[in-house]
Structure 1
Amino acid sequence: MKKRVLITGAAGFLGSHLCDRFIKEGYHVIGMDNLITGDLKNIEHLFPHEGFEFHHHDVSKYVHVSGGLDYILHFASPASPIDYLKIPIQTLKVGSLGTHNLLGLAMAKKARLLIASTSEVYGDPLVHPQTEEYYGNVNTIGPRGVYDEAKRFQESMTMAYHRYHGLETRIVRIFNTYGPRMRLNDGRVIPAFMGQALRGEDITIFGDGSQTRSFCYVDDQVEGIYRLLLSDYSDPVNIGNPHEISIKDFAQEIIDLTGTDQKVVYQSLPQDDPMQRQPDISRAREVLGWEPKVGRKEGMKLTYDYFKQLSPEELKKSEHKDFSEHSRR
């Protein structure tokens, strides 16, 4: 009998790559998504596969899955600033009600549950790089609080079920991840810069560009998540690439990669935009034997090749006239 895994947020960027990985590993995969931010085109190649089924459902409502489950991976949540600022209530619900529903399902099925947390639980960090022991610096009532606090509550509830009920749980804190299937119009740094380059627009930097980010290629991220799920470790684990770069220097890398000659323009920094973001992955190295393998130059080329295949209509659709209200991660 194949092991069965439920992956929520299956039609999203990271969720779809996880579906691919578990199909490859021989699991029966049940994908679930309400398609608010996900796209069926990310998983349509799996529809003919006998080991894959898809449920169009919002996990903030009662979740029912027939048959047994060995694992649940909870990746259902808006993950980009444009999305969670546009649908803040749904973002809070999927992190709270959705997590509660899936914890109950895991209890009923005696399944192990892995939740997708985020580096955003650290807020605008006062500790650098960020270790799992750092409690964070988060504005609970700021515009980003709907996402940050949803994830922090999600972690708290998951650990409560682990301690009180003895439920098998895992928590991955995901740092900036990129690769094929990202949406060009989701407001995050890489798709935003690449979309502007492909459309021949100036590249927009918020603030003076000195803020830093650390980018992890999706294949490395999926490998880390897979190892964490199968490990016996229940505390949070950072999964990300510790190679840090300033946004200003990264914009120049995009210009060099795309061979374009547009200029860089600057706008004011959005509220609560973190100035530094770099994971300490000592725990992942020690517990999982994991560290990223794909360098930024290689990963960015693979991502750019994916975006170059988009039609002119898709590129035009991805255009946003004003990003000034949105943070970029």
Structure 2
Amino acid sequence: MKKKAKRNQQRQTGKRAINRTYKSTVFIMLFEDKKNLLELYNAVSGKHYQNPELLEINTLENAIYLSVKNDVSFVIDARLSLYEHQSTYSPNLPLRFLFYISSEYSVMTREANIYGTQVVRIPPPQFIIFYNGEKEQPERKILKLSDMYTVQEGEICLELTAVMLNINQGFNEKLKETCKTLGDYAEYTGRVRKYARKMGLPDAVERAITECIQEGIMREFLEKNRAEVTYMSIFEYDQERHLRQEREEAYETGRKEGFEEGSQAVICDLIRKMWKRGKSIREIAEDLEADQTFVEEIVERVTEQET
């Protein structure tokens, strides 16, 4: 019992340390509240739990995982769930989840005899991504680790499946109605993005917070944490915009300069393989984070060469 209490204390200490640094996000702050998280879990799973104390919340504690800054993981109903918010789509999320779940299982079984003859029981995992980025995405999308493999095998020996739910306006409205906190969060972040197109980012965040408080959207949370939410929102949106600009610049550089260095052959081969595996042009463009018109040009070129 003492060892367990010590581990729990270490978890809580690590959690507080992370949540007071710039690595924190509004999503983490909002859903580390057990009441809010239980509401979200019930909405996603269709369960009807009432006692928030059933939740055991874990957040990423090690420096190696700080870049995966939007994670909230927890254990309930003998299941280990990991929820992550993303404003930027990444096909690499299954690999990141694999790193995380491996670390979490390692901690959970630290005192177990994994070399013994008795089965070491572990909770089954669940991976959910709540997406509200600007890039168009379907209402629901399945991301698989096997889609990242360089060779597609008939029998997959290691698989990890994550579900990405689009929480932008017009998507998964029933889910957001069932979990008002999630709906309010999506509304707030949507307003920040909308106003940031018209005015400076600090002013956009301030206007979104003021309006949400006046309209009863996350009122208590925003009133209590206004200064911290303001800082985090500015950092998050600024980082999102910076990463988007970096990708666009890198893509243009790759098109103009990379092809001259032989990159065109590599990209064409990758697109050809994905096309032959039955992926659509849109899916290929999404997976490679490339312009759809560019992928169409490569597919047409490859098709002409093979006919």
Bigger proportion of residues as strand: 1
TM-score in terms of structure 2 length: 0.33
Higher relative contact order, structure no. (Cα contacts within 8 Å, ≥ 6 residues apart)? 1
